[in-house]
């Protein structure tokens, strides 16, 4: 089984940003030594409140198949430093940060796996750095974001909940996320808790991100509300279709949770219709966001990588 190493790079504003590197053993199953380095690497980009641990099972699977896999912690998450300026917790800054990772590892082309926010970053990089992304997986995210889901996320981001034990943490997730993962058993909730949370200095278990990541979200919501009051109409949502269309030249997998309140079935179908080389995988009884440990999602990712070997 492949192991991982934690490395770091420095952001333009001086933060230490951490990432996991999963190296293939002997080129992967049935591969030759060194073959993994010749293959395009995979970079897994997490969601808003998630971190590198979100991809640990997928990364081990891909490394066993002969790929180098990089799983960064965005600023303010996991092993990475918290930002001194909370307003830097925004997608353009994350994209600028990631450029430092590519330079540190000599990465000029890769396959992206992006969950939620990570998928937005994937689309942004495709639009701003043509040729960088050779293929992509967008996990429950697209060019139209359902306002219902945005409101739900805005209601919990930055809330500093903590728990006495891992079992308490698992039960807490079950109480708030049962509609997202209705088929989870307690063992699944425990595993999710250990991905999302960490043991803090006070001995309590808390979510593993800087609560201040909520500040730009709150500021944007306030600005929209003020504009709506002045004009009497709601501000139009950002048009992300041009970013999505920047991926039109590469193979794409769109993973859609059938219960998602972020990516609607209508938008997922429109993405598949407008992209010339897109496989849409809709997962029943899963909300936002799929773990990518689901067999259907894993098989689709394997099919994409087999084409890009």
**Quick one: pLDDT at residue 30?**
45
**Quick one: pLDDT at residue 223?**
80
Sheet of strand 162-163: strand arrangement: 162-163, 205-207, 197-199
Which tens digit of pLDDT belongs to each residue from 91-102?
A: 999 999 999 999
**Quick one: pLDDT at residue 148?**
93
**Quick one: pLDDT at residue 160?**
80
**Quick one: pLDDT at residue 33?**
42
**Quick one: pLDDT at residue 243?**
98
Other beta carbons less than 10 A from residue 245's beta carbon: 15
**Size of the chain, expressed as the number of residues it contains:** 309
**Quick one: pLDDT at residue 37?**
57
**Helix ranges, the chain (H):** 35-38, 56-64, 91-105, 117-128, 147-156, 166-177, 186-196, 214-231, 241-245, 265-274, 295-307
**Quick one: pLDDT at residue 27?**
53
Contact (Cβ atoms closer than 8 angstroms) between residue 11 and residue 97: yes
Q: What share of the chain is helix, strand, coil (3-state, %, to 5)?
A: 40, 20, 40
CA–CA separation, 129 and 152 (whole Å): 32
**Quick one: pLDDT at residue 103?**
97
In CATH, 4-147+239-307 is 3.40.50.2300: no
Domain boundary assignment for the chain: 4-147+239-307
CA–CA separation, 65 and 69 (whole Å): 11
DSSP 157: T
Region of residue 30 (phi > 0: left; psi between -120 and 50: alpha; otherwise: beta): left
Return the sign of the alpha-carbon dihedral for residues 135, 28, 78, 184: positive
pTM above 0.85, yes or no: yes
Residue numbers of the chain with a pLDDT score lower than 50: 1-2, 28-34
Contact (Cβ atoms closer than 8 angstroms) between residue 150 and residue 56: no
DSSP 234: P
**Quick one: pLDDT at residue 226?**
73
């Amino acid at each position: 089984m492949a192991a991982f190493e934690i490395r770091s790079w420095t952001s333009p504003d001086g933060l230490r940003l951490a990432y996991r590197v999963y190296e293939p053993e002997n080129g992967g199953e049935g591969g030759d030594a060194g073959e993994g380095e010749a293959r395009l690497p995979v970079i897994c980009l997490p969601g808003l409140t998630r971190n590198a641990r979100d991809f640990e099972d997928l990364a081990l699977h891909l490394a066993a198949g002969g790929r180098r896999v990089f799983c960064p912690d965005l600023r303010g998450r996991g092993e990475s430093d918290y930002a001194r300026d909370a307003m830097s917790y925004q997608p353009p800054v994350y994209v600028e940060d990631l450029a430092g990772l590519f330079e540190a590892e000599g990465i000029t082309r890769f396959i992206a796996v992006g969950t939620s926010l990570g998928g937005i970053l994937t689309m942004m990089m495709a639009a701003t750095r043509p040729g960088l992304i050779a293929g992509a997986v967008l996990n429950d995210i697209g060019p139209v974001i359902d306002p219902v889901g945005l409101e739900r996320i805005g209601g919990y981001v930055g809330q500093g909940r903590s728990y006495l034990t891992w079992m308490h943490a698992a039960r807490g997730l079950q109480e708030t996320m049962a509609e997202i993962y209705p088929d989870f058993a307690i063992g699944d909730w425990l595993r999710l808790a250990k991905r999302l949370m960490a043991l803090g200095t006070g001995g309590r278990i808390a979510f593993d991100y800087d609560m201040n990541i909520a500040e730009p979200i709150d500021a944007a919501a306030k600005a929209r509300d003020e504009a709506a009051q002045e004009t009497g109409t709601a501000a139009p949502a950002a048009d992300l279709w041009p970013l999505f269309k920047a991926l039109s030249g590469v193979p794409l997998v769109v993973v859609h949770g059938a219960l998602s309140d972020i990516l609607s079935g209508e938008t997922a179908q429109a993405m598949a219709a407008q992209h010339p080389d897109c496989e849409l995988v809709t997962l029943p009884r899963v909300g936002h966001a799929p773990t990518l440990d689901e067999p259907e999602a894993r098989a689709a990712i394997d099919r994409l990588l087999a084409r890009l070997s």
